């Protein structure tokens, strides 16, 4: 019998199914923790079986609220054509296993549904704009301004070791569904803990740690434009980097091999064995990597390299008064430099909850504060979850996580629709209240 603390909800497994013998799930403060273990197909089956209702819900919400095309068969066909043969066999097997697990629970999804769901971020945000650019002759973009993040080490932290923090900026509807905390113990490679949209074999929100002491997170490069249909999908490269990365060089190499420009991000990474941190600005034509054992890196959706901006960004303004990403960048630098030598996990949590715009000299969460909220302007987009890890926490495969807005504020769906009634038809069936949740610790057992 699994021993857990508090009011955790355990799933009753079918003991006759040996594929489920080492797998389990429980719920805690808005998160669904799922332990998955074994061969790739077994991991996929466990995932599909254990989280079947949530995966089904995420598929329905995505199709109703976020996809550019209403033709789901097009996504199935295109992702199969573009990506299937480029996937490593273990990830093909994991996707097949997930479809089998969903079917075992009575849900009618096949592997092409599962593949399309895993690839939808780079298809909608990168491949489709690339297709459009071929006809318009202009740089087209679908890249989102998603996430705030930092990583620090050396003289900037309280113990000279690594502190990393990240919050996910996404649509509230789908952001609420990035509530899986996956503990994956694969047959090969490192053990992984990462948050994820339910149904993704990577993360999507992209905060992850592994048993080799590695940490990884990202923020998107806003207004990025570019895609290589011959490349390897980003969702495999992210998963593979954290599963097989044993140092910074490993992760950089995996991200670069077959880079297709999909989900173009600035990746922040760290090695708890050496307390070295890195920043990989991963464009398609322009790839830049910087490392440090005594410094910090921040992310808030701003491109940095002038050549990348010139060649691969559809629109960019360096003026903080016109660009909220640049205001967030300025706030990050100010916070970290003013807290030099004292940054720890608790400080990281307060940073990510920060709602001060120091350019405009005003308080209140907006699209230019580290804890973002845009619903007051009629847009359902902002910081819907937060995570922190340190060198010491990763030694025990632990991290801190918080569902809901980083600053602990709330949103009541009924009140929002009273103010913006025209959005009820689209989002009403799927938007849930966002209530304050506490910080909780997850440790792989």
- Give the whole-angstrom CA distance, residue 162 versus residue 152: 6
Which pLDDT does position 69 carry in this prediction?
87
Report the C-alpha gap between 229 and 68 in whole angstroms. 18
Please report how many Cα atoms fall inside a 13 Å half-sphere around the Cα of residue 241, on the Cβ side: 35
Tell me how far apart the alpha carbons of residues 364 and 377 are, in angstroms, rounded to a whole number.
13
Q: Check residue 298 and give its pLDDT.
A: 98
pLDDT at 14 over 50: no
Res 6 pLDDT > 90 = no
Indicate if the pLDDT at residue 1 is higher than 50.
no
Is the pLDDT confidence value at 389 over 60?
Answer: yes
Over residues 213-228, the mean pLDDT reads 97
The answer, yes or no, to whether residue 205 has pLDDT greater than 80, is yes
* Domains in the chain, CATH or no CATH each: 39-136 (1.10.439), 148-443 (3.60.60.20)
Express each pLDDT in 402-443 by its tens digit: 999 999 999 999 999 999 999 999 999 999 999 999 999 999
* Span between the terminal Cα atoms of the chain, in Å: 13
Taking only Cα atoms into account, the Rg of the chain, rounded to an integer number of angstroms, comes to 20
Residue 13 has pLDDT above 60, yes or no: no
Band (146; pLDDT cuts 50, 70, 90): confident
What is the spatial distance between Cα 426 and Cα 423, in angstroms, rounded to a whole number?
A: 6
Kindly state the average pLDDT of the residues 280-306.
Answer: 97
CA distance 283 to 143: 12
- Strands in 180-186's sheet, in edge-to-edge order, are 24-28, 31-38, 180-186, 192-196, 208-210, 214-220, 265-271, 276-282, 287-292
In this prediction, residues 129-142 reach a mean pLDDT of 94
Q: Is 138 exposed, middle or buried (0-12, 13-18, 19+ CB in 10 A)?
A: exposed
Which residues, other chains included, contact 400 with Cβ-Cβ below 8 Å and sequence gap of 6+? 345, 349, 387, 388, 389, 393, 439, 440, 441, 442
DSSP assignment string, 155-194? GGBSSSS-EEEEEEEEEHHHHTT--EEEEEEESSS--EEE
Cα–Cα nearest to 397, from 356, 432, 445, 350 = 445
5 pLDDT higher than 60: no
What is the residue-wise DSSP string for 153-164?
-GGGBSSSS-EE
* Residue pLDDT, tens place only, 73-90: 999 999 999 999 999 999
**pLDDT attached to residue 8:** 41
pLDDT given for residue 16 in this prediction: 62
Q: pLDDT above 90 covers what percent of the chain?
A: 93
Confidence of residue 291 (pLDDT cuts 50, 70, 90): very high
């Amino acid at each position: 019998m699994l021993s857990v603390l508090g009011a955790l909800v355990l799933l009753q497994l079918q003991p006759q199914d040996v594929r489920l013998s080492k797998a389990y799930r429980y719920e805690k403060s808005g998160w669904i923790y799922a332990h998955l273990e074994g061969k790739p197909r077994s991991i996929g089956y466990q995932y599909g079986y254990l989280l079947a209702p949530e995966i089904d819900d995420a598929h329905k919400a995505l199709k109703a609220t976020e996809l550019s095309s209403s033709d789901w068969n097009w996504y199935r066909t295109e992702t199969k054509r573009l990506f299937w043969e480029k996937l490593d066999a273990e990830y093909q097997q994991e996707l097949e296993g997930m479809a089998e697990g969903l079917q075992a629970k009575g849900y009618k999804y096949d592997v092409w549904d599962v593949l399309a769901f895993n690839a939808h971020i780079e298809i909608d945000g990168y491949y489709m704009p690339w297709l459009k650019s071929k006809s318009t002759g202009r740089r087209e973009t679908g890249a989102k301004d998603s996430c705030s993040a930092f990583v620090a080490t050396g003289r900037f932290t309280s113990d000279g070791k690594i502190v990393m923090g990240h919050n996910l900026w996404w649509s509230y509807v789908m952001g609420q569904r990035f509530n899986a905390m996956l503990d994956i113990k694969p047959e090969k490679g490192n053990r992984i803990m990462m948050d994820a949209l339910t149904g993704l074999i990577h993360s999507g929100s992209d905060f992850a740690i592994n048993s080799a002491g590695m940490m990884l997170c990202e923020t998107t490069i806003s207004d990025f434009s570019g895609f290589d249909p011959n490349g390897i999908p980003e969702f495999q490269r992210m998963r593979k980097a954290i599963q097989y990365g044993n140092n910074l060089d490993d992760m950089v190499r995996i991200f670069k091999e077959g880079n297709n420009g999909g989900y173009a991000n600035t990746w922040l990474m760290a090695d708890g064995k050496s307390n070295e941190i890195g920043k990989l600005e991963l464009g398609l034509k322009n790839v830049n990597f910087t490392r440090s054992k005594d410094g910090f890196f921040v992310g808030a959706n701003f491109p940095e390299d002038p050549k990348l901006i010139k060649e691969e960004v559809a629109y960019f303004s360096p003026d903080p008064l016109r660009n909220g990403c640049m205001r967030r960048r300025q706030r990050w630098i100010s916070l970290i430099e003013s807290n030099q030598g004292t940054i720890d996990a608790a400080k990281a949590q307060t940073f990510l909850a920060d709602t001060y715009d120091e350019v405009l000299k005003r308080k209140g969460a907006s699209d230019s504060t580290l804890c973002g909220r845009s619903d007051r302007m009629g847009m359902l987009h902002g910081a819907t979850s937060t995570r922190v890890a340190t060198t010491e926490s990763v030694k025990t495969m632990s991290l801190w996580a918080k569902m809901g807005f980083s600053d602990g504020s709330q949103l009541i769906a009924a009140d929002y629709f009273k103010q913006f009634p025209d959005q009820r038809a689209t989002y009403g069936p799927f938007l849930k209240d966002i209530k304050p949740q506490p910080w909780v610790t997850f440790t792989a057992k």
